[in-house]
Amino acid sequence: DRGEYRHFMAKEIHEQPEVVGRTLAHYLDMATGQIRLPFEAKFDWAKLERLTISACGTAYYAGLVAKYWFERYARLPVDIDVASEFRYREAPMARNGLALFISQSGETADTLAGLRYAREQGQHVLAVVNVPTSSIARESDVVAPTLAGPEIGVASTKAFTCQLTVLACLAIAAGLARGALSAAEGEALASELIAVPGLLAEALKSEDRIQELARDISRVSDVLYIGRGTSFAMALEGALKLKEISYIHAEAYAAGELKHGPIALIDETMPVIVIAPRDGLFEKTVSNMQEVAARGGRIVMISDRETVGEAGVDDLRAIEMPRMAPNFAPIVYAVPVQLLAYHTAVVLGQDVDQPRNLAKSVTVE
């Protein structure tokens, strides 16, 4: 039931404060800020040599964000690949390795095949899945559920933010178990996570502004998304969302890569969506944004209001996010990229929930 919404995708975007809150409460005691994983790990985080992550599409981008988190908070080396490559790569795997698969449906053929490969290679197998009865859940040693509820729109939205929420909790748990985080550092990160559902609700207030910008985006044929660190993964996710439902060509680049080629594309017709929460890489992203502005690119900056004000670019259109601590910004910054794709597709009259050529669950390779 779509309720008051025109599309399932809109409903699912708006459900995020609730389902992320529910998922978080399943992994974290909201009163004490202690992480409490809802499963018994059959492996010891402290002894792992390597984490290998694999998934497809949006679930892969959740894994890409998590790579930064596991490396930073748990000091755990991470290898990540799309499942269609991983399954055939003949990757040698660490002796005491954990393989992590992420899937909304739990039925994606390539992800399932990657899981079987990892098992043959003697890996511990952990799956973050939204459908607990799925094949991927059944074939894993340990299941970390997302509590997003059924996701109907072909474009994944609430499953993605719930995946990020679970992955954040796993990274903190791993950091604590490996002694890479002190108890105080773990609590500080947990308190940042506890703020996320409220911040998601705030982020949704940018919808009117995004609707305005979507009218402009609907008139172009190409869009570039840039960001650094976890925001690079969010740039990839933003570009995928726009492509799949509006059919506008979009590409994402790590902001530092622009000068190695793609900056040649920039002219007055090219919108560049800059994902720039105030974090340790912000200054670097801003200097890349200034390079784009100097070449006439049309900048849409996603950041908080104070930070947008400090960006030093005159001709800039902004999508304002709430001010927040930086660590879990990707969960909140998912909202504007989802809404921008959604409203662009609506302006163009596309079939948002059932985009052409796509299926909700890709059970063939």
Residues forming contacts to ligand M6R in the complex (CB under 6 A) are 56-59, 103-105, 108, 111, 154-156, 240, 244, 358, 361-362
Helices 196-203 and 329-347 pack at an angle, to 10 degrees, of 30
Distance in Å, CB of 358 to ligand M6R, minimum: 6
Determine the Cα–Cα distance for residues 221 and 34; give it in Å rounded to an integer.
47
Distance in Å, CB of 303 to ligand M6R, minimum: 24
Spell out where the chain has E strands: 28-29, 34-35, 50-55, 78-82, 97-103, 124-129, 142-145, 222-227, 249-254, 271-275, 298-304, 316-321
SS3 160: helix
Cβ-based nearer residue to ligand M6R, 51 or 112: 112
Determine the Cα–Cα distance for residues 294 and 186; give it in Å rounded to an integer.
42
Can 360 be counted among the known catalytic residues? yes
Contact 285, 311 (CB under 8 A): no
Cβ-based nearer residue to ligand M6R, 108 or 327: 108
SS3 263: helix
Residue 80: phi and psi, rounded to 5, are -140, 140
Cβ-based nearer residue to ligand M6R, 210 or 239: 239
Cβ-based nearer residue to ligand M6R, 156 or 285: 156
DSSP class of residue 224 equals: E
Distance in Å, CB of 80 to ligand M6R, minimum: 14
| Antiparallel, parallel or unpaired: β 78-82 and 50-55 | parallel
Residue nearest to ligand M6R (CB): 57
Distance in Å, CB of 267 to ligand M6R, minimum: 29
Q: Is the dihedral of CA 273, 275, 276, 277 positive or negative?
A: positive
Distance in Å, CB of 348 to ligand M6R, minimum: 17
Cβ-based nearer residue to ligand M6R, 99 or 301: 99
Torsion of CA 124, 27, 302, 16, to 10 degrees: 110
The active-site residue out of 11, 67, 243, 360 is 360
Look up tokens 């998304």; give the residue.
Answer: 225
Residue 178: phi and psi, rounded to 5, are -90, 0
Distance in Å, CB of 65 to ligand M6R, minimum: 14
Cβ-based nearer residue to ligand M6R, 9 or 176: 9
Catalytic residues: 360
